[in-house]
Amino acid sequence: MEALRRRLKTTGAPPLHKAELSRLTIPNRIFAAVYASAVVTLLYHHAVTLASLLFHYSTTTKISSLFISTAFLVSDVVLAIVWTTTQSFRMRAIHRQEFPENINILLKSKECEEEEFPAIDVFVCTADPYKEPPMNVVNTALSVMAFDYPAGKVSVYISDDGGSALTLFAFMEAAKFAVHWLPFCRENDVVDRCPEAYFAAANLSSSSSSSDIERIKTMYESMKVRVENVVERGKVGDENITGEDERLAFNKWTDGFTRQDHPTVIQVILHNIKDKDTSGHAMPNLIYVAREKRRTSAHHFKAGALNALIRVSATLTNSPIILTLDCDTYSNDPQTPIRVLCYLLDPEIESQVGYIQFPQRFRGINKDDIYGCEHKRLYTINPLGMDGLLGPNYVGTGCFFRRRVFFGGPSNLVLPEMNELSPNTVINKPKCSEQALDLAHHVAGCNYEDRTQWGYKVGVRYGTTSEDIFTSYLVQCEGWKGIFCNPNKAAFYGDSPINLFDVLSQQKRWATGLLEILFCKYCPFTFGTKHIGILMSFTYGHNTLWPIWSIPITIYAFLPQLALLNGINVFPKVSEPWFILYLFLLFGAYGQDLLDFIIYGGTFQRWWNDQRMWMIRGLSCFLFGLVEHTVKSLGFSSMNFNVTSKIINTEQSKRYEKGVFEFGHHSPMFVTLIMVAIINLVALVWGIKLVLLGGKVVFEELFMQVIIAAFAVVNCMPIYGAMFFRCSDKGGVPTKTTLLSTFLVSCLFVITLVALKN
């Protein structure tokens, strides 16, 4: 890499990238100052009201009034804290642009040697062949093997944490197809180098090379059928094995081999020194890794798998750049590594740049994104704000790391326990000797990390199921910076869940992981403030506060409505000045969020669905994640990691495309949602009745409560449809869930009827 950097400098190459401050920066700062004044005023009003109630407690104060005032004070304090941390993303957002064409000129020149380009190790992680179909993983691997980059400089490692022979078989078949696929892409200037995506988009009738496409497509479909037949059968039979090397590999799966208890399996499927494609070019390295797992040893989920890959790859290739990908995140732009070099080859910034994060984008999201899976704020808007500070957080996939990042800060190298694992060790040719493979098996052992610094000072960090954000946070505290690379053409595409249960289960796991960060000794608000400054620490703090959203959302979803049903006014009258303050705070927050969403390519309907999902998350996965973490902290339960299913159900897929919510089966997380839907609908009907009968006075008193109930009802429309009008499909709310929710709402109403009268 150093030689290439010097060549660029001596040839007087034009700039490789540029950065510009967002035009919204100054308006955002002005609005933040105005809005902050309004927030402080509201909190002052709450404090004065509560103090007055406490002062007069012995004579006229009702316990219910104290409870309501305290609840709203707590709720608005939480909202104020979350809003304050949100502003850190708006203080210095920047937009970057790369110029990969300037590197491409050098790449195509005769003066440039292939050896000058830095090698890349690609880590593709999978864990379950039934929830994460091997063909999805194969497509991801093939797409990165076909990068517009010297093939001899690319090594693809497949981490199979399920230890499945089915996955290994799939990649042995994929390797046979790859020797045809890579030259086909090169010779036909194919842009979509994920085979599944390419064949879905290829127009055979209008293509001049339709016969070539038909030929390669037939090979792909044949490979796909063989793999899916083996997966459906659940084992690799003798008839599927074509050579002695393959037989030796599959002999490792003995009767005692299970996904939770098995030895290390490392199989070099393609080796770029000896394996060539059909045009005579070297193939990328393709290496299958199933680290050792034992029931008696902690494996640290995905973080442990990545650390095993860091060590195994160090013994075989030790490339200075590491790309991490989820099993369903395929490359959509073969020029992506060249974009990365636009930053890593810049002598002015390269010494501090630790990683380059690309935004997560998803294929298959329906038109209006009913589940908010695009996560525009998380994956696009917020990273732009972080990029103006120290860089975005790592999101678990689509990120290019310097290997050096995993071994301490820029000026503080933490040496591993073995010289062979050092990031400074240079391996000119991939090592696949018996001695190198023995060492690779050793460092992938389940007890190798005992009494070492792996996971704590070295590698991907342990201590939370949200290892991605935790790792980037700690490496930034050590002095590294990140870059957010957001090209117009998506660098990677992934899959998103298409049913509500999978969406909420995935984010409950995120919620518990974020709380583990918030309440550990590395809390962003304490440790982070000292090491990365207040603004940057607030960006990470904002993410860890996600589950805390459940507190104000739950209060506003239940308390005003229960008070309304009992004829109690809890908000200022329309004629009072405080009413204007509430309106400003409400429309200011929602208006700014909508503006951000639209500016960065969203639509109003997608924004509406996104804010609806925030309400749904706050009442389900965030709430349950908060409760689970609290219970776990008290020592009463343990966290289980569940892999999100990537299997596509045909009926679910059809309903999803139509924009219909999928419930399907009973879940405790659905109960709170149904309760909110019921209680807000009843409160709205009751409130309208009171207003119609009571005239202007009642209208002024209950207006805000009626509006809040109406807002919730509109957001709950998909829930009502699933409860009352979808008996004919399997995606409706189960009767059991509706009956249980109705019973709990009735109990809650009776309790508040007694409590609010006291």
Q: Are residues 588 and 491 in the same domain?
A: no
Q: Residue 631 and residue 153: Cα distance in Å, rounded?
A: 48
Inform me whether the pLDDT recorded for 89 exceeds 80: yes
| CA atoms of 433 and 431, how far apart (whole Å) | 6
Q: Which of 468, 495, 502, 610 is catalytic?
A: 468
412 and 336 in a single domain? The answer is yes
Residue 13 falls within a domain, yes or no? Answer: no
Residues 489 and 568 in one domain: no
Q: Pick the last residue of a domain from 496, 511, 540.
A: 496
The domain in which residue 534 lies consists of: 25-91+528-755
Residues 551 and 682 grouped into a single domain? yes
Residues 630 and 740 in one domain: yes
Do the domain assignments include residue 8? no
Give pTM, 2 decimals. Answer: 0.92
- Is 119 found in the same domain as 84? no
Question: Does 228 share its domain with 192?
Answer: yes
| Number of neighbouring beta carbons within 10 Å of residue 45 | 16
Residue 607 lies in a domain: yes
Using DSSP, state whether 324 is helix, strand or coil: strand
Query: Which one is catalytic: 161, 328, 495, 610?
Result: 161
Of 98-112, 214-228, 319-333, 388-402, give the lowest mean pLDDT range. Answer: 98-112
Same domain membership, residue 675 and residue 641: yes
Percent of the chain with pLDDT over 90: 71
Which tokens in the block code for residue 710? 């109406």
What is the pLDDT at residue 638? 55
Cα–Cα distances (Å) from 686 to 61, 554, 629, 694, in that order, read 27, 20, 37, 12
Nearest to 215 by CA among 174, 170, 177: 177
User: Rounded mean pLDDT of 153-158?
Assistant: 96
Whether residue 442 sits in one domain with residue 353: yes
Q: Domain with 327 in it: what CATH number?
A: 3.90.550.10
Active site residue 161: yes
Mean pLDDT of the region 690-705: 89
Residues 291 and 352 in one domain: yes
Question: Nearest Cα to 577, choosing from 58, 190, 41, 176?
Answer: 41
Q: Which of 287, 296, 282 is nearest to 319 (CA)?
A: 287
Considering the domain architecture, whether residues 700 and 555 belong to the same structural domain is answered as yes
Q: Give phi and psi for 419, each to the nearest 5.
A: -60, -30
Smallest CA-to-CA distance from 138 within 115, 106, 108, 166 is with 166
CA terminus-to-terminus distance, the chain = 74
**How would you classify residue 338: left for phi > 0, otherwise alpha for psi between -120 and 50, otherwise beta?**
alpha
Report the distance separating Cα 509 and Cα 394, nearest Å.
17
Indicate whether 606 and 461 sit together in one domain: no
Catalytic residue flag (residue 468): yes
What per-residue confidence (pLDDT) applies to 433? 84
Residues 6+ apart with CB under 8 A from 744: 671, 675
Q: Are 386 and 484 in contact (CB under 8 A)?
A: yes
Q: What are the residue ranges of helices labelled H in 533-576?
A: 534-544, 550-565
Q: How many CA atoms lie within 13 A of 109 on its CB side?
A: 13
The pLDDT assigned to 347 comes to: 82
Total number of domains constituting the chain: 2
Q: Does pLDDT of 604 surpass 60? A: yes
Task: Tell me if 581 is assigned to some domain.
Answer: yes
Question: For residue 258, which phi and psi values (nearest 5 degrees)?
Answer: -130, 165
Q: Which residue has tokens 């799966």?
A: 253
Identify the weakest region by mean pLDDT among 351-360, 411-420, 650-659.
650-659
Task: Examine the fold and report which residue of 472, 496, 520 is the final residue of a domain before the chain moves on.
Answer: 496
Burial of 412 (0-12, 13-18, 19+ CB in 10 A): exposed
How does pLDDT run across 543-556, given as a tens digit for each residue? 999 999 999 999 99
